[in-house]
Chain A
Amino acid sequence: MKDIRILFAGNPNVGKTTLFNSICGVHQHTGNYPGVTVEIKTGKRQINGHSIIVSDLPGTYSLSAFTPDEQVARDALLSSGPDVVIQIIDATNIERNLFLTTQLMEIGLPMVIALNMCDLADEQGMTIDADCLERNLKIPVVRIVARKGEGVEELIKTIIQVSTHKTPAVHRAVEYPHSVTSHISEIGNYLSAHASLLGSLSPHYAAIRLMEGDEHLEKMLHEKGCTIPFIDTTDPAERDGIAEDILLARYKISEEITTCSVQCSMGRVMPGDLIDQVLTHRLFGIPIFLSCMWFAFQLTFSASNPFIVGIEYIFGYFTELMNSVDMDPLIRSFLSDGVIGGVGSVLVFVPSIFVMFLLLSILEDTGYLARAAFVMDRLMHSVGLHGRSFIPFLIGFGCNVPAIMATRTLQSRADRIITIITIPFMSCAARLPVYVLFAGVFFGAAAGNVIFFLYVLGIVVAILSALIFRRLVFKDEPSPFIMELPPYRKPSGFAAAVHMWFKGREYLKRAGLVIFGGVIVVWALATLPAGVEYGSADSLVGIIGQVFQPVFAPLGFNWQLVVGLIFGFIAKEVVVGSLGTLYGGEEMLESSLAADPTLHPIIALAYMVFVLLYLPCVAALGVIRQEMGTWKWTGIAIGWGIFVAYVFAFIIVHVGSLFIGA
Chain B
Amino acid sequence: MVPLSLTKSGEKVVVRSICGTGHLAKTLGQLGIIIGIELTIIQKAKESVIVRIGESRYALGAGAASMVLVEPRK
Interface of B is mostly: mixed
Residue contact A62 to B45, C-beta cutoff 8 Å? no
Q: Is B72 in contact with chain A by the CB < 8 A criterion?
A: no
Minimum Cβ distance to chain B for residue A334 (Å): 56
* B32: A residues at CB distance < 8 A: 95-96, 99, 251
Contact of B56 among A93, A277, A374, A477 (CB under 8 A): A93
The segment out of A133-141, A324-332, A480-488 that lies at the interface is: A480-488
Q: Is B1 in contact with chain A by the CB < 8 A criterion?
A: no
Residue contact B54 to A247, C-beta cutoff 8 Å? no
Contacts A/B (CB < 8 Å), 11 sampled = A66-B23, A96-B53, A240-B25, A276-B42, A280-B43, A374-B59, A381-B63, A479-B23, A481-B60, A481-B64, A484-B56
Q: Scan A463-496; emit 1 where CB is below 8 A from any B CB, else 0.
A: 0000000000000010111111101000000000
Q: Is A270 in contact with chain B by the CB < 8 A criterion?
A: yes
Beyond A61-B30, A282-B46, A485-B59, 12 additional pairs, beta carbon < 8 A: A93-B55, A96-B31, A277-B43, A374-B48, A374-B59, A377-B61, A411-B23, A479-B24, A480-B64, A481-B60, A481-B61, A483-B58
Contact of A480 among B9, B45, B54, B63 (CB under 8 A): B63
Residue contact B42 to A378, C-beta cutoff 8 Å? no
Residue contact A280 to B50, C-beta cutoff 8 Å? yes
Q: Is A82 in contact with chain B by the CB < 8 A criterion?
A: no
Q: Is A404 in contact with chain B by the CB < 8 A criterion?
A: no
The CA-CA distance from A370 to B29 in the complex, in Å, is 20
Binding site for B on A (CB under 8 A): 61-62, 64, 66, 92-93, 95-96, 99, 213, 236, 240, 243-244, 247-248, 251, 270, 272-273, 276-277, 280-282, 285, 370-371, 373-375, 377-378, 381, 387, 411, 477, 479-485, 487
Residue contact A236 to B21, C-beta cutoff 8 Å? yes
Residue contact B27 to A96, C-beta cutoff 8 Å? no
The CA-CA distance from A61 to B23 in the complex, in Å, is 13
Contact of B43 among A276, A377, A411 (CB under 8 A): A276
The CA-CA distance from A485 to B56 in the complex, in Å, is 7
Q: Is B8 in contact with chain A by the CB < 8 A criterion?
A: no
The CA-CA distance from A481 to B59 in the complex, in Å, is 8
* B62: A residues at CB distance < 8 A: 378, 381
Of all chain A residues, the one with the shortest Cβ separation from B65 is: A480
Of all chain B residues, the one with the shortest Cβ separation from A239 is: B21
* B9: A residues at CB distance < 8 A: 277
Residue contact A482 to B28, C-beta cutoff 8 Å? yes
Q: How many inter-chain residue pairs (CB < 8 Å) link A and B?
A: 116
* A96: B residues at CB distance < 8 A: 31-32, 53-56
Residue contact A92 to B55, C-beta cutoff 8 Å? yes
Q: Is B73 in contact with chain A by the CB < 8 A criterion?
A: no
Residue contact B64 to A95, C-beta cutoff 8 Å? no
* A272: B residues at CB distance < 8 A: 57
Residue contact B54 to A484, C-beta cutoff 8 Å? no
Minimum Cβ distance to chain A for residue B31 (Å): 6
User: Which residues in chain B, 11-51, are within 8 Å of chain A measured between CB atoms?
Assistant: 21, 23-32, 34, 42-46, 48, 50
Residue contact B27 to A482, C-beta cutoff 8 Å? yes
Closest 10 CB pairs of A and B: A481-B61, A480-B63, A480-B64, A374-B59, A282-B45, A93-B55, A485-B57, A62-B30, A61-B30, A280-B43
The number of residues on chain B lying at the interface, defined by a beta carbon within 8 Å of a beta carbon of chain A, is 34
The CA-CA distance from A482 to B54 in the complex, in Å, is 17
* B45: A residues at CB distance < 8 A: 280-282, 285, 374-375, 378
Residue contact A477 to B57, C-beta cutoff 8 Å? no
Interface of A is mostly: helix
* A371: B residues at CB distance < 8 A: 59
* A373: B residues at CB distance < 8 A: 59
Binding site for A on B (CB under 8 A): 9, 21, 23-32, 34, 42-46, 48, 50, 52-64, 67
The CA-CA distance from A473 to B29 in the complex, in Å, is 31
Contact of A247 among B34, B56, B61 (CB under 8 A): B34
Of all chain A residues, the one with the shortest Cβ separation from B36 is: A248
Contact of B59 among A66, A213, A240, A370 (CB under 8 A): A370
Of all chain B residues, the one with the shortest Cβ separation from A121 is: B55
Contact of A244 among B29, B30, B44 (CB under 8 A): B29
* A487: B residues at CB distance < 8 A: 57
* B28: A residues at CB distance < 8 A: 482
The CA-CA distance from A244 to B67 in the complex, in Å, is 17
Minimum Cβ distance to chain B for residue A254 (Å): 9
The CA-CA distance from A282 to B48 in the complex, in Å, is 9
Residue contact B26 to A374, C-beta cutoff 8 Å? no
Residue contact A381 to B43, C-beta cutoff 8 Å? no
The CA-CA distance from A247 to B33 in the complex, in Å, is 11
The CA-CA distance from A217 to B50 in the complex, in Å, is 34
Of B26, B59, B64, which is in contact with the most chain A CB atoms at under 10 Å from its CB? B59
Residue contact A483 to B59, C-beta cutoff 8 Å? yes
Contact of B26 among A64, A93, A387, A477 (CB under 8 A): A64
The CA-CA distance from A99 to B31 in the complex, in Å, is 9
* A381: B residues at CB distance < 8 A: 61-63
Minimum Cβ distance to chain B for residue A374 (Å): 4
* B46: A residues at CB distance < 8 A: 282, 378
Contact of B48 among A243, A378, A484 (CB under 8 A): A378
* A213: B residues at CB distance < 8 A: 26
Residue contact B52 to A273, C-beta cutoff 8 Å? yes
The CA-CA distance from A62 to B56 in the complex, in Å, is 16
Residue contact A480 to B58, C-beta cutoff 8 Å? no
* B56: A residues at CB distance < 8 A: 93, 96, 484
Residue contact B29 to A482, C-beta cutoff 8 Å? no
Residue contact B30 to A387, C-beta cutoff 8 Å? no
* A93: B residues at CB distance < 8 A: 54-56
Minimum Cβ distance to chain A for residue B13 (Å): 16
Residue contact A485 to B58, C-beta cutoff 8 Å? yes
* A270: B residues at CB distance < 8 A: 52, 55
Contact of B63 among A236, A240, A477, A485 (CB under 8 A): A477
The CA-CA distance from A247 to B67 in the complex, in Å, is 19
* A64: B residues at CB distance < 8 A: 26, 30
The CA-CA distance from A147 to B41 in the complex, in Å, is 31
The CA-CA distance from A92 to B56 in the complex, in Å, is 9
* A374: B residues at CB distance < 8 A: 45, 48, 50, 59
The CA-CA distance from A484 to B30 in the complex, in Å, is 12
Residue contact A66 to B42, C-beta cutoff 8 Å? no
Residue contact B57 to A387, C-beta cutoff 8 Å? no
Minimum Cβ distance to chain A for residue B3 (Å): 13
Contact of B61 among A92, A370, A480 (CB under 8 A): A480
* B60: A residues at CB distance < 8 A: 480-482
